[in-house]
Amino acid sequence: MNSVVNDPASAGRPVVGICARTAPVTLQGSDMVVSLALQTHVAYLAAAGCTPLLLPLLPGVERLADRLDGLLVPGGPDLDPELYGAEPHPVTRAMTPDADRVELTLVRTALEARLPVLAICRGMQLLNVLHGGGLHQHLPDVTGHDGHRPGTPTFTLGRHRLKLEPGSRIAGVLDEEEPETACHHHQAVDRLGAGLTATGWAQDGTVEVVEVTGHPFAIGVQWEAGQTADKRLHEALARAAGAPDIG
């Protein structure tokens, strides 16, 4: 285990990188753009025995992979459709092409190093594109409903029951029949990438989980892990990264 933290309290704890997102904020009356991570990702990984490390998506960040024990790729803006050979849909928005390419390189490097990877929402979509897959750019065009990202005036999570592949890694992590997810996405897997296995689906057939075939722990989930009190995926990532079992 390679530590990048000198805090004695963090000694011996696996370091899990979290890909940063950028967002405009107003702080003390001043407008600025910040690099950030969802605090629950930080808190859940820390509670599971890891040291979270924020990774700004700048060229060369992949060189930090050999100082990590795991990687969390969170939700974020839509991916640049050029990455999977498509023209932008009218509602595809907030694209960050430069950051997309840096993040693809980072995730590829992490996978090649056999690091445990948990990819959430956009992260799962990026994992699919990395493996040559494509995306539905606006899921309601396919499903005929907005249940995956309810069209309400305020942020609302959609709720779906999952069908999981028996014996899959995700089935072992969640350990229940037809778990309920909390999601907020309008894009999803269309063409599945080579080297990925779909292991979870919503009732409408939307792919909700992919796993990198033959990798010890590389899972993509379409729901908003981190937006609820469910810590099971973060704890599974922590264990795969070398944290002691807290169960």
| Mean pLDDT of each 10-residue bin along the chain, 247 residues long | 44 93 91 94 98 97 97 96 96 92 98 98 97 95 86 86 96 93 90 98 95 97 92 98 82
**Which string of DSSP letters, residue by residue, matches 25-80?**
EEETTEEEEEEE--HHHHHHHHHTT-EEEEE---TTGGGGGGG-SEEEE---SPPP
CA 71 centroid distance within chain: 9
Per-residue pLDDT, 160:
87
Query: Which residues lie across from 71 on neighbouring strands?
Result: 17, 117
Per-residue pLDDT, 146:
82
Per-residue pLDDT, 10:
55
Q: What pTM was computed for the model?
A: 0.92
| Range list of H helices, the chain | 39-47, 97-112, 122-130, 140-143, 169-174, 232-241
Instruction: Select 8-24+31-241's CATH number: 2.30.29.30, 3.40.50.880, 3.10.20.30, 3.90.190.20.
Output: 3.40.50.880
